[in-house]
Amino acid sequence: MAAVDMRELAMEVLLSVTRDGEYSHIVLRNVLEKYQFLTKQERAFLTRITEGTLERMIEIDYIINQFSKVKVNKMKPVIRTILRSAVYQMKYMDSVPDSAVCNEAVKLAGKKGFRNLKGFVNGVLRNIARNLDNLSMPDRKDTIEWLSVTYSMPEWIVKQWLSSYEEDTVEKMLQDFLKEKPTSVRCNLNRISPEELIQKLEREGVRAERQTLLPYALWISGYDYLEALPSFRQGDFQVQDVSSMLVAEWAGPQEGDYIIDVCAAPGGKALHLADKLAGSGCVEARDLTDYKVNLIQENIRRTDAANIRAVRWDALVLDENAVGKADIVIADLPCSGLGVLGRKTDLKYKMTEETQKKLIKLQREILSTVQAYVKPGGKLIYSTCTIHRGENEENAAWFAAEYPQFELKRQRQMLPGVDPCDGFYLAQFDRKE
């Protein structure tokens, strides 16, 4: 089998994301599935370059623009991508000599049909390499630009957060997004206890430790490929952030409850609720497309959950048969995703303020539809994985005013770097008897 050029593979992943608009976690997952024969070290190298380059892209572009007459946004996509990944390697991967990074980048430019630009790539990178220790960065007094470049966050997001939170809090959030973290998982208590799962994972060569917020939440690390773990394939755990687990905790399902999760894919919250029902009741996990419903069904099959079903349904369309029948409605709705940028880093380059406004409108339309399913005395849990008052606190206030039959019992905005979890928002509404 011919050797795989890891830097070329990284370049292809990065092009798929930055040029073609695909999502990094999906592209990278598909590539790792395709190249399962790669060693653990090669897979880690590929993941590090692609995720790291995307994570630090604003800072990297700021550096390149200091040493290149052609600015980054005017470069050919392939050359721009080669330079970006090379600068990331030089600045953040000490194990790789700068000279090797430069040589490989030049070779890759030639290999991809840009022999005439090999000298340009070489010149820019060697100049950067010589000046790595005394790079010019924005003045700290320009708070927005400094935070944006230092932590590679678009300026409009920095401005938005500074309008809601203190500068110190915003910087803690930005720092946290760039930290490498273990994978957060939820133990399926109907199958295995946390203690047993920890022991099983350790036998599989995986490091596992308890999280602090919930007794069944674990951090795992040191594994190569999730789907290769028997404990995962056998449905002993679900990958899920602890903030997302709080949805089921706030919902507090009772034996025999009928629960509708209106935007459920890939099904983590719905499966958690089914687990809490311990085989009783029914959780109906709905989503818009066959693809998303299939994702839910895959997880149902893997975990062998019996009291849950996946259903294709548009959350904007009223289901007359469900009106007034649900004990609990989970409305974890499409959002800007700014709370999970540590795991889905490319979202920060795809999201815009205009899109946020459209999402607020969509969230309100869905809430207006699905509130009808909650029976008197029932609950509606509204949640998002973002940090944005318009999508969160302001939406909750709007809903409480628009639907006085519901009472806002509690709400919470969790912030990365402040709370031990992703950025996540929850609101619990109780329908009056």
Matching residue, tokens 């973002």: 386
Angle, alpha carbons 127-47-126 (nearest 5°): 5
d(CA 164, CA 242): 24
List Cα–Cα distances, 425 to 90, 170, 245, 381, in angstroms.
37, 16, 12, 10
Residue 385 is a catalytic residue: yes
For residue 376, is the peptide bond before it cis, meaning its omega torsion is within 30 degrees of 0? Answer: no
* 333 vs 330: CA distance, rounded Å: 9
In Å, how far are 6, 15, 233 from 24, measured between CA atoms?
Answer: 16, 10, 24
Give the residue ranges of the annotated binding site for S-adenosyl-L-methionine.
Answer: 263-269, 287, 314, 332
Of the residues 102, 187, 385, 421, only one is catalytic, namely: 385
Q: Looking at residue 371, what DSSP letter applies?
A: G
Asked whether the beta carbons of 258 and 274 are under 8 A apart, the reply is: no
Which residues contribute to the annotated binding site? Answer: 263-269, 287, 314, 332
Residues in the chain: 433
Greatest extent of the chain over all pairs of C-alpha atoms, in Å: 74
What residues are annotated to the active site?
385
